[in-house]
Each structure stands twice: as C-alpha cells, then as structure tokens.
Structure 1
Amino acid sequence: MEIKKIGVLGAGVMGSQLSALFANAGIPSYLFDLNKEIAEKGLKKAIDLKPSPFFHQKRIKFIEIFGIDKNLEKISECDWVVEAVVEKKEIKLNLYEKLLPYLKKDAILTSNTSGILLKDLSESFPKELKKRFFITHFFNPPRYLPLCEIIKGEAEEKLVKNLVEFLQVELGKGIVFAKDTPNFIANRIGLYSILKTIELTKKYKFKIEEVDALTGKLIGRAKSATYRTADIVGLDTLYNVSVNSYNFLTEDEERGLFKPPEFLKSLIDKGLIGQKAGAGFYKKEGKEILSLNLENLEYEKQKKPFLEAIGVGKRIVDTKKRLEAIISCPDSSGKFLKELLVSTLLYSVKRVPEIADEVYEVDNAMKWGFGWEIGPFQIIEGLGIEKFSNILEEEGIKIPEIIEKMLKEGKENFYEIKDGKRKYLEAQNLQLEDMPRVKGAIYLDEEKAKGKILFKNWNSYILDLGDGIFLFSLKSHLQPELNPIDLSILDLLEEALNYLKENKARGLIISSDGENFSAGANLNLVLELAKAKNFQLLGYVSKKFQDLSQKIKYSPFPVIGAPKGLTLGGGFEMVAPCAKRVLFSECYCGAVELGVGLIPGAGGTLRVLENFIDMMWDLRPGPFPPVQKAFETIGFAKVSMSAEEGFELGYFRKGDIIVLSKDLQIAKAKEEALKLSENYKPPEAYDRLILPGFGGFLAFKSTIENFKKAGKISEYDQFLATKLAYVLCGGEKANGIEPLDEQYILDLERETFLSLAGEEKSQARMEYMLKEGKPLRN
C-alpha cells in the first residue's frame, strides 16, 4: 500500500515532532489533539524547539491541525494512523474506541507507546483490526534519533514489511523488532545503565560531573553522558519509568535496581525535574553551571575531573581498544567503569531472547536510540569473548549460556563479513545468518571486503563500486570523528582523478566512512605552518587544494559529492565543485573560516559566489546582490542546520538531491553518477563572474564600519570582514561589467588567506578553537 497521508493522534512532545518528521519527507499529516486549540499549541511548541524538528520552516505547510472533538472523521483520509497520546492505557483505549468507526478498512494503526504492552492495548480488538495494529516506538527527538522499535504481535506480515520499508527508505529510520516486554529493548537496557550508574556514583563517592566525564564520549556513548541525559529526559519521566519497570519486571534478576532512589523523589517534590524546570542534576546560575551534590542535595561549583581513565582514554582513538584499556586502570575510575560496563554487558546478554531474538537488535537499539557508538555485544566482541568470560569468573559471576556455547564451539565474533555479505551470529544455534538490509543499499564494508579497494593511504581509499563508478572516501585515523583534510588526502584524491581519467571511468563519488564528512582542513597543520612562518608550504597546500577543486569541477567524468554530518570549511570546499551532490538530510554545511580568523583558502569563496550568481541570474539583479548574499553567508560563518537549509545559504545548487536514509546515500549517488555519465560533458569555463569592484567594496566597508561603531563586532572582526569584502568584490580588476576569470579570484582568495594566517590575532583564534572547541572574539 502507498502512504499518502498520515494521521497523528496527540500533539504533545512526540506527536507534534512526528508530524514534523513526516513533513520533512514531504508527506502530509493531520495532527489531532482533544481540540484544535490544544493541537495548535502543541505544534507551536514543536516549531519553537531547539534544535528544530523541521528541516526548514517551509515544511510546516505539510501539517494540518484538527480537534478530536469536532474533526475525527478526517481520520478516514489517512493511510496510516499513529497514536501518540499520554502514556495511560485507559486514555489510549478510550481514543481507539472513538476513532475505529472512522478508520479506513486498509489503514494501518500503530501506537507510539514507550512501554505499554501490545497485548494490553489490543486485547479487545476484533481479529481483523489486530492484523493492522502494532507498535511503532519512535525515539525522542525523532528527527535526530533514527531508532524505531516495532512490536508486531498478530499484525499481518505483509503490512509490517511494507511499513518497515517506508520507514527505512522514506524516513531514514533504523528498525529493530522487539518482543512485547516492558520498556522493549533500548529503554530496558538504557534505564538499567542509568540506574546502575547512579548506584555506582554513590558507591565510589564520585561527583556527578566526574561520572559524566567517564560515561560519555570516553566510553563511546552520547556526549550528554548520564546525568545530563537524565536532565534532558526529565527526572519525573525517569522516576515514572523506573517505578513502572519495578512494578512490571517481577521476574527480572535485577528488579531491585529499578526501584528509584529516594533522593530522586525528593528532587521531584522540590520541582527540580531537569532541563524543562531549569534545574535537576545541573543548575544554571548566571553564566555558571552548578552540579548537584548527591550527599546533601545542594548545588555547588563544578570541579574539573582528574581521573586516570580519562587520561588513558584520550590517547586511544579506537573505541573498543579504549574500553579495554580504561577498565584496566587501577584507580577508582577504572574500577567504576569496569563494574558499570561488565554489569551492563551481562544484563544485555541475559535479555536475549527475552526482549529480542537476536543480538544485532540489541546493538542497533542502543546505537540508534541512545547514541552508543557500539552496542553491548560489539563491546564484548572488542574485549574478546574469552577475556569477558575471565572477568566474569574473577568476579564469581556465572557465564551466560550464549557465551558458554561460543567458547565451547570456538566462536569469537558476533559479526562477520563472509562471501561479501554482512553476517550475524544467530543466538539460538550460533549459525551465521545474513544481516537485514535496507532495500537498494550499498554497504561500504561489504564492498571493501570483496577486495575492491584500488589503492589507499593512511587516511583515505579508492573503491570500485562497479559499472565504471568509483568512490573516494575520507577517513582520518587520528581524528575519525572530524575527518580533517590534510596533504595525504589531497594526494590520494589527485592520484584517483588522474587514474580514473586515464582509465576512462564513468564517474566518481566523494564521501566519507564516518558520521561526519569533514569538519574542514587540518587546522593544526595550518597553525603550525603559520607560526613557523612557512608560508611557502602553506601556500602550496592551499594552491594544491584549489587546483584539485578545479580538477573536480572540470573533470571529464561526473564527480558526485555525498556529504553527511559536519561538512565545514575544507569539507564544503571538497564537495562544492562537484557536478552534483547527493546530500544526507542531516548535512551541516558551512564556510566557517572567519571564526578562526581566516577566509576560505581552497575555493570556498568562489563557490559560494558562483552559487548565488547562478541562483539570481534569471532575475538580472546586477553584480552587487549575489556578492552581498555571499558576504552574509561567509562573513557570519553561517552553518546550515539541515541539508535543505544549505540551499538558501548558497552552499548547494539547484538539482542537488536530499536523501533521508543514510543507508541509501551511496546507492543514490551511484545512480546519479550513472545518469550523468551518459554523454557527459564537463562545464564550459565560467563566464558569469561579474563583480562590483571598488564601488561595491566601499559600500561594504561603510556597512562594516557601522557594525563596529554599533558594538556588534570587534575591531579585528572589522579587519577580517573588510578583507573578505575585498575578495568578494573582485579586488582591483572587477568593474561590474566584464566577467573575471575563476583563477583570478582563486589567487586573490589564496593571497588573502595566507596574509591572515600570518596575523597574530588569527593565530590566537586558531589556537583557541583547537583548545576550547569554540570561536574566540579578540
């Protein structure tokens, strides 16, 4: 069946954001609440949320508001109805009774419940409705967390399969199938981990900021770690979920842990329920964030944690190796982490097959729903099955059945790539089975396993995707989260372009293995060369990158950019000259160099200029308006908060494509490369570069001076902005009539970039960004 319209029942936090999720995919939805006024308030709250649940404000038009009291018959127009009302069984059942007379005979009905059992919701349904009713548990915020847990019950297999494909392909969701048990998969293990962390915080007498330093990125989990996550979720929510778990998990061997600690009730009674109340485990006072002392429940100044596990972990890039090292630290931080990890891993292992049939469902649930970098079974695999067993034996803990069976049969891995396909170890019989696939997806780990890597170096590789299409992937071994671009990456890209030209390739895709495409050029290298006054080498790097960008643009075969996540500075400059871009919807793109005291140094100025010129060309606005728009984008270091937003900021071009499924991005990029390769001709030399020249520069200079006088920018901001305006206006050659050559602007850009790199205040900005991770206003 085709889903053309969706009904969402409940305009609260989740319901309104689900409508936003559907709107982002261009799918109309009807958003209901008790009455239209309440629904409107719910939608307004969603519109005001930061970060936004919408890709762009224009997406709001896909949502229509209705009241259950007067307009419930509109449900009859919907192909899929999602119930997302308050987590009370009686309220849900009462709503179902009202809506069933209006439900289309072939419509799917699902509940977004986070923990009420499917059998309790559907026990009174007629048999025919049970075939169309199941649970689709989205995680909050649904735009940013891909997890959707499905509890299918008696639903018809074909209907479930169709909706799963829709969720994966159209909405980019990661699907796991959970059993009909309290809290399903992710919340069951996630809640256990949070409550265990609280228990161990008291045992080891740690401060909460110390625990958050230990339980965030250090162990491959979300940056918000434990206590900040609890504040975001809400202490009242955490308490209620804990109580429900304690009441319903009567057979759980760890049931006692789910009884919420007394101090949690005390905080709730005082109204200290987390971020929504302005205070919970943390409290902001002025510019300072205080932390709660769990002993006396008083707020106090935070102290920077100095713990051995943090020092050891910072030096290790690979998460699995880092975990192995930090749990071996002899101090209290190592012992704390060892006890937390071992207990969480053990609890996870024991939940199969209770909450899920297979281990990959548990791993995926924790990665997609709680932001874990690797799931529990992947962590065990990283430690080694034998080592994990030895740890359990040392602690006097009985080895779980699945681990014992693996040891006996000599199985060392839960996951493998065999015969070019991703496999998982089936939990019942320990046989390798094919991992579920998103329809049409290309998985790079599978392609690499087929021996299709043509050549590689420390940071990147070239992969043959078949049909004459190749892929160049950035992958920094030293900083895999940010993928900074250095000379080794540029060298390999140049080698790839030359090789593919000689071998008459049909197309090239430029992408990345990591969560982020690239956060920019290697700023450490730029700063190091600038401080050493080695401007000859810095100029060489800048010129090489610029030349490569031109080589990409005028390549004899189409080059497709496939960025995702952070695509900043040099990352943008690498995909900007491509013939086309296939963008993951969560692509945060920006020419952000002014934030570190520079201007783009690898063609970014030229690309943004040309994009705005082409965008406005049919309007014939004259030379100044496109330059003004480019100045606003680069001068304010604007970053798109979605791929869609990147178009109006001048980072992307008409014809570029957005995909919501990360799994399908490479496949779509290959498809586009093949389409373009038919009779492909590289673009002619650009002849629209008509810039305003000195007159335009004077107008900018006056405006910039006024910003300084109004106190909106610093004196050095003024200096930088003036330099940028000079380049954008075309320097001394532009006259507002004749087009300039691209190379002239590239040379002007590079000359300005190098001069700014030599400024002490620019170097101070670079140093501050590298040290603090935020811009300095000096």
Structure 2
Amino acid sequence: MNKSIRKAAVIGSGIMGSGIAAHLANVGIPCLLLDMVPKELTAEEDKKGYTLEHPAVRNRLATGAIARLRKTNPSPLYDDDFADRITPGNLEDHLSQISEVDWVIEVVVENLQVKKDLLSQIERQWKPGTIVSSNTSGISIQEMVADCSEAFQKYFLGTHFFNPPRYMKLLEIIPGTKTDPKIVQQMKLLCENVLGKGVVLAKDTPNFIANRIGTYGLLITLQQMLKNGFTVEEVDAVTGPAMGRPKSATFRTLDLVGLDTFIHVADNVYRNITDESEKAAFATPDAISSMVARGWLGEKSGQGFYLKQKGENGSEINSLHLSSMEYHPQKKVTSGSLEAAKLAKGARAKTKALIVTGDRYSEFAWNILKQVLIYSAEKVGEIANSIHEIDEAMKWGFNWELGPFETWDALGLVRSVERMEKEGLTVPLWVKEWIAQGNQSFYQKDQGALYVVVDQRYSLVEQPAKIISLSNLKEQNKIVKGNNGASLIDLGDGVACLEFHSPNNAIGADILMMIQQSLVEVRNNFEGMVIANQGRNFCVGANIMLLLMEAQDEEWDEIDGIIRLFQNTMYKVKRFEKPVVAAPHRMTLGGGVEACMPADQVIAGAETYYGLVEAGVGLIPAGGGCKEFAMRISQRVDGHPEADLQPYLNHVFETVGMAKVSSSGHDAKKLGYLRSTDRIIASQDHLIYEAKQAVLQMSRAGYEPMVEGKIRVAGSEGKSVLQLGAIGMKQSGYISDHDLLIAKKLAHVLAGGDVPAGSLVSEQYMLDLEREAFLSLCGEPKTQQRMQHMLTKGKALRN
C-alpha cells in the first residue's frame, strides 16, 4: 500500500492527457503516453513511403503530442528536456506495458461508454496492486467500473486535474464505493507532496465540487445579466477583482474555457440531476447556444464574448452585445460600489464594500452572490463532506480569493441571511440552526488555529504537516521583532524566518535593517534562519521609486549609502556563522535574487520566475549579484588556473544583460541563477517547512560558515570580448545606444575591470565595481526615463 509511484502510464494524448504526462515528467515520474492507432496516413507519411504498420504512424498521436509540449506557451514543462521522460506508444502495441507501471491514468473523451470499454481493456492487462484513475471532469466514477472486478475497483478512483495541469493547483480525488481508503490516502499524499497539488476529496456526483459550484455561478450570472440588461464589460467589471475573483471575471473566463466545453460541463449536471428547479439553473441560455451555433467559441475560434479587431487606433478589443449579436467598442465601467471595492484592502473588504454601497452594480453582485451562497450550502454533504473542501476547491480551481462560505462570513452571516429571507429566498435549515445557536460565522480563528462548522459544532481544520503558516504564527505572537518592511518570526525548533512584507515586498532600507538586526537575534538565540514569505510574489526587487527620487534630486551620496547598505547586508548574510536558507517563490526579481544568492542553500518553488532584471530599468545588479556570478565562475575553474573563464562569462553576460527571467525553478538552474546544490520543490505550500528542515540539517551536521576567498576574473581581455559582442548587437540593430552603454558597464564589472586576465581580486573589489557602475547609470537621463516608465506602466522601456 505504501509503495511509491516510480512510473506511470497516461492513456489519451489530447491537451489534458499530454499535460498530465508533462506534469508527471516535471516531478520526475517517467511515463508512457498511449493513444489510438491512426486509420489513415498523413500526406507527409505517404510521401515518406510509410504504411499504416510503420511504428512512426502507429505512435503518431502520442509522438505529436509530446512534440507540441515543447512548443506550447505557457509551457506545460518546467524544462523542455523533461519531455524525454515521456515515452510515446499506442493502445494496440503497448497497452500490455501498463503491467510495468504503478499508476495508470485514463484521460480519453468524456463519454461513459468509451471510458467503460477502455477500462475493460486496462483490466485485462492490469497487474494487481496497480492504481488506476480517471481524469473525468464529471462522469460517475462508480458507473465507469460497474462491470469490473471488485479487486480492480479497490484500486480505482477519480483524479480530476484542472487545466492546465502544471499551473492549476486543484486536484479533486473522487473515491468509488469500493475504493480502498488506504489507496485514497496514498494518492492524496502523493498528489500533495510530489505533484504539488491542493487536494480535496469529492463525492461521486455530477461535476464533483468546483465545476458544480463554478458552473452554477456562471449560469446565474448570465441569467441575471440577461434579466437586467447588463453588458459584457459591466458584468466583468463586477465579477472580477471587485468580487475577489480573477481579472478574467466571467466572460474572459468563458472565452478561455471555450463555450462548447462550458455547455458540455453544464449539460452533464442537467442530464444527471432530477430536481426540476436545479435543472432549470443548469439549462443553457439561448444566447450561448446561438454563439456556439455560429462557431463563436472563445479564444480557440478567434471570437466569443470578446473579439480583437483593427480600429482607427490599431488593435482594439470589442465586446459582444447579446441582444443584437454584434460587437461594439468597450465602454469604461465605473460606479460608487466599484470604486469602493477598488479602494478597499483585501478580498473580504472588497466584497463587502461592493455589496453594501447600494447602486445597480452592487445590487447585481448581491443577486449573484446570494444564490451561489445558498446553492453551496445546499450541496454540503452531497458533493463534499465539509464546507472547507468546497471553499478550497473554488479557490484552487477557479482562482477565487474567497470560497463561498468565506465570502458569506465576509458579508456578515447573520445580516446576509436576514436579507436573503426578507427577499423570499429559502436558506438551508442547517445554516439557520447554526445561527440559532448564537454563532456569527462559519469559520473561527483562535491563536492561529482555524475552526470550521462541522455537524453543528466548530471543528479544527487540520493543517498538513508540511504547511507552515506565517500568518498563524503571527497570531500566536511568534514575532520576535519587526518593522514596516520585514519581521523575524519564530518557526519553532530553533529556527527563525525573516519575512518581507513591504508593498510588493520591494527591498528598501527597512528590510535591510531588519535583516541585520535579525542576524544579531539569530546569532544569540537560534540555530539558523530562513528567508521566506507567503506574499503573492517573493520580491519584485529594490525600491525603484526611492532610487528614482534620489537620482532626480542628484542625491548621489544617498544612493551610494543605500547600495552600500544593501551590499554590506548581503555580505553579512553570506559570512554569517549560522546556516541561512532562502525559499523564493513566483516573481523573484532583481534585489530579490540578490537577497537569495548569499544563502547557504536556496529551496525554490517550481513556479519561481527568477531573474536579475536591472538592465530593464537602465541599471546593473549592484547588491552583490554581479559579484556572486563572478565568484561562481571562478569556483568552476578553481584549481585549474589555465582554464578559460570566457565561455562561462559569456553566458552570464547574456543572461544578466538581456534581463532573462526563468520560466520555472528548473529553468533558473539552467540559466545559472541557482546552483547545483539548490533544491526545487513542486509545492509552494511546503517551501518554509523544507527550508526549516534544511537549516536544522546543516546545524546538526556542524555548520561552518564559508571562508572568503579570492575571485579569479577574466580582466580586460574578457571585458573586450563581451563589449565586442555588445557592439555587434548594436550594429545589427538589436540594441539601442543606451543598451550598449549598460552592456559596457556590465562587461566591465563581470570581467573584474581593467586588470590582467586571470587576476585574483577580493569580493569588496567586485562590490566597488558594481556600486560605481550603478551610480553612474543612475545619473543617465535615459535610465531615469526607464525607471519612471516601469513605475507608471509596469513594463520596460527600450529607449
């Protein structure tokens, strides 16, 4: 029962099947990818003289799917090379090979009979003990295997990945009536710890949890829109971030999903439920049927609720008027309730502000939410055992910031129920009984522990062992010290965590001072330190606004002081006598990377987008980033003074000069930002736990700080090679004059300045080069223009 999944087989090589295979490959599980044998040759195959019996033809569907993985954007793979972990095959020649795997995943068309037939074939080749699952989005798990043996059913369950499998956190596990509970637990742990998923246990009902609630919510929104005459852009303005939902809101989401897919999902519930009022809610609106009949399916067909068209001012996105089925330019939507939501901090406050303001958009939002909340309450016990699983499913599967019951608490449970009943709605009896006991909310927090209503009493929400919540620790008064930019938090077991919490986690003097103070505290009272946070992104870099203001005022001594403080702080981290582990996630840019580079080890989330991007704002890294790269190059040739530094130097120069950002943690290793000793884990939720364990392991092993050594540099010769390459790019029109200036400064620093090739220099010498180049670039008007553009537009200016 406790054996690991060493190899898997995915059957069905469509978008979902190949995406699941890619994610298995991402986490190191090799797999077979099988599909049907084609019945006809392509023109290219015919030209090559192939027959239908040729292996290339018979494996074409799976082989083609693997090839597309490398070209898809955003990539389903952490690293393109991981596609080599997937072996293509076909169902006629290779199905017997499933006896060699530990997990078989069926991902074929959403048709019960097709799935039953395939599972019958699988059982004939099945080795007892092999886990088999279906990636259905809503077909009954039990009906699929009704004709299979009890032994097979014991190892069969649903594993509903959300699309795209690499990026979507939710995975619904659906046991059948005869699935062994130990198999369910094994798969839950595997999907959480190895695949990095957020797992909820769903009941075997139509569309399970997230698609059941999410589809209902989208249909209610459509019904309210058509009833009250709202436009597409008005609906999206209300049902996006103002309501704690993604920017894609309602109609951009439907365009992304595809209207044909949406209808199929809604129809699955419609056909499989008996309650007439519920059936009516899942009936497809005529307007949607009309769009599908016209082929307006969304992004995959080029138009849906939105259509990109060429206008007088270039490309513009127009929205569909459902009454006329014509596209018109979008109109800006604003109102008191939308502005109130925009100004409010956090999803709870935004949602409440939207509802209570009292204009037509506020009323529209309430008319949607009240029905979704009641429907969710009605489904407790039917689609899931707890309201917490429903909330998590909606947050992980539909990217809602608050689940339905968290939203209800945000609006005020008692007050909103009174309003619902006053408006003639029937609130589920269990909710009314809960309120009658004197309870004011579904959730309750006490000393960092979360409790949720279960069977008319508060029950503790058990956190998985590998999840450490900084917010919970802060509620337990575990903050050792802090300021406006950062805090030092006691993680227990002698390990402290330095958490950034400035706006966007941008590094300023407050964070740097807290790092230095934290080192003193950890030296005296802890075994070591983790640098991590649980913000949306780890760190977007240094505080550009502060630097720009100082540059515009020509306060060069102030900028010099800021950079010295940054450099000195990072140097202290690097030479600290106790272990330091950094745990970055998602956007980790500029100074955020430089805050991680001095750590003894970096444990990064797989979805870490890591890069020294200073060139994009007209600067070069000056918090130790250039020095650290030069040191790594020197260490690669340590003991071989005759070795050529230039190839490594060229790679770093290109990476930093072009402000390359990794597409994953694995890509960060390929780019050289992460070292071979740094680790990457799939679950962002486990980062702080794993970093803490790494600190303890180093401490127990008798940690000794790194001793400063000399850095071998390429000197003036290496600098000339780099600058010649940059000049060539300028002459070819790839870069501007200002880009060339930045490149020359960067080359000067990375190569170690104007010293002879192979010279040994100190770390402080390299830091001085960084700082001097940075200061000179700050004085350039075009650099200041780039900084201003990044602050106002959020993207780089090429001037």
Which TM class, normalised by the smaller chain length?
A: over 0.9
Q: Does 1:25 align with 2:27?
A: yes
Partner of 1:295: 323
Per-residue CA deviations over 1:602-657 (Å, capped at 9, x if unaligned) read: 22222233334435657864232232212111111111111011012121112111
Give, in angstroms, the shift of residue 754 of structure 1.
Answer: 2.7
Counterparts of residues 183-582 of structure 1 (less than 5 Å): 183-251=207-275, 253-285=277-309, 287-418=315-446, 421-426=449-454, 428-432=455-459, 434-476=460-502, 479=503, 482-503=504-525, 505-582=526-603
Per-residue CA deviations over 1:440-468 (Å, capped at 9, x if unaligned) read: 44333443344322122234221222232
Partner of 2:67: 44
Relative to 1, partners in 2 of residues 1:260 and 1:772: Cα closer, same or farther, differing over 3 Å?
Answer: farther
Is 1:613–1:626's contact at 8 Å kept on the other side of the alignment? Answer: no
CA distance in 2, matches of 1:491, 1:134: 53
Task: Give the TM-score normalised by the residue count of structure 2.
Answer: 0.92
More displaced 10-residue stretch of structure 1: 208-217 or 577-586: 208-217
Per-residue CA deviations over 1:224-253 (Å, capped at 9, x if unaligned) read: 222221111111101222222222233264
Counterparts of residues 631-642 of structure 1 (less than 5 Å): 631-642=653-664
More displaced 10-residue stretch of structure 1: 34-43 or 715-724: 715-724
Q: Does 1:162 align with 2:189?
A: no
Which SS does the other structure have where 2:532 is aligned? strand
Is 1:13–1:46's contact at 8 Å kept on the other side of the alignment? Answer: no
- Match for 2:249: what amino acid? A
Give, in angstroms, the shift of residue 89 of structure 1.
Answer: 0.7
Relative to 1, partners in 2 of residues 1:618 and 1:262: Cα closer, same or farther, differing over 3 Å?
Answer: farther
Counterparts of residues 589-600 of structure 1 (less than 5 Å): 589-600=610-621
Is 1:212–1:224's contact at 8 Å kept on the other side of the alignment? Answer: yes
Q: Does 1:662 align with 2:684?
A: yes
Q: Mind listing any 5+ residue stretches in structure 1 that lack a counterpart?
A: none
Per-residue CA deviations over 1:363-389 (Å, capped at 9, x if unaligned) read: 110111111122111122222222322
Per-residue CA deviations over 1:143-185 (Å, capped at 9, x if unaligned) read: 1111111111221111111111111111111111111111111
CA distance in 2, matches of 1:247, 1:325: 38
Is 1:24–1:59's contact at 8 Å kept on the other side of the alignment? Answer: yes
More displaced 10-residue stretch of structure 1: 306-315 or 167-176: 306-315
Partner of 1:63: 86
Partner of 1:91: 114
**Aligned to 1:608, which of 626, 629, 640?**
629
Counterparts of residues 132-171 of structure 1 (less than 5 Å): 132-153=155-176, 154-171=178-195
Partner of 2:45: none
Is 2:630–2:713's contact at 8 Å kept on the other side of the alignment? Answer: no
Give, in angstroms, the shift of residue 93 of structure 1.
Answer: 0.8
Give, in angstroms, the shift of residue 420 of structure 1.
Answer: 5.8
Relative to 1, partners in 2 of residues 1:579 and 1:241: Cα closer, same or farther, differing over 3 Å?
Answer: same
Which SS does the other structure have where 2:327 is aligned? strand
Give, in angstroms, the shift of residue 68 of structure 1.
Answer: 0.2
CA distance in 1, matches of 2:434, 2:779: 60
Is 1:598–1:720's contact at 8 Å kept on the other side of the alignment? Answer: yes
Give, in angstroms, the shift of residue 56 of structure 1.
Answer: 0.4
Is 2:209–2:384's contact at 8 Å kept on the other side of the alignment? Answer: yes
Give, in angstroms, the shift of residue 277 of structure 1.
Answer: 2.0
State the aligned residue count. Answer: 769
More displaced 10-residue stretch of structure 1: 59-68 or 739-748: 739-748
Partner of 2:785: 764
Counterparts of residues 705-716 of structure 1 (less than 5 Å): 705-716=727-738
Is 1:79–1:104's contact at 8 Å kept on the other side of the alignment? Answer: no
CA distance in 2, matches of 1:419, 1:305: 42
More displaced 10-residue stretch of structure 1: 339-348 or 224-233: 339-348
Relative to 1, partners in 2 of residues 1:16 and 1:405: Cα closer, same or farther, differing over 3 Å?
Answer: same
Give, in angstroms, the shift of residue 527 of structure 1.
Answer: 2.4
Is 1:506–1:557's contact at 8 Å kept on the other side of the alignment? Answer: yes
Give me the CA root mean square deviation.
Answer: 2.1
Per-residue CA deviations over 1:276-334 (Å, capped at 9, x if unaligned) read: 22222222346433332323222333344334344323322221111111222333332
Partner of 2:47: none
Task: Give the TM-score normalised by the residue count of structure 1.
Answer: 0.94
**Aligned to 1:735, which of 756, 761, 773?**
756
Partner of 1:753: 774
CA distance in 2, matches of 1:493, 1:416: 34
Which SS does the other structure have where 1:327 is aligned? helix
CA distance in 2, matches of 1:617, 1:142: 42
CA distance in 1, matches of 2:637, 2:338: 52
Which SS does the other structure have where 2:610 is aligned? strand
Give, in angstroms, the shift of residue 267 of structure 1.
Answer: 2.2
Is 1:363–1:375's contact at 8 Å kept on the other side of the alignment? Answer: yes
Per-residue CA deviations over 1:553-595 (Å, capped at 9, x if unaligned) read: 0000010001111111111111111010111111111111111
Partner of 2:148: 125
CA distance in 1, matches of 2:230, 2:780: 44
Relative to 1, partners in 2 of residues 1:317 and 1:597: Cα closer, same or farther, differing over 3 Å?
Answer: farther
Identity across the alignment (%): 38
Is 1:4–1:78's contact at 8 Å kept on the other side of the alignment? Answer: yes
Give, in angstroms, the shift of residue 742 of structure 1.
Answer: 1.4
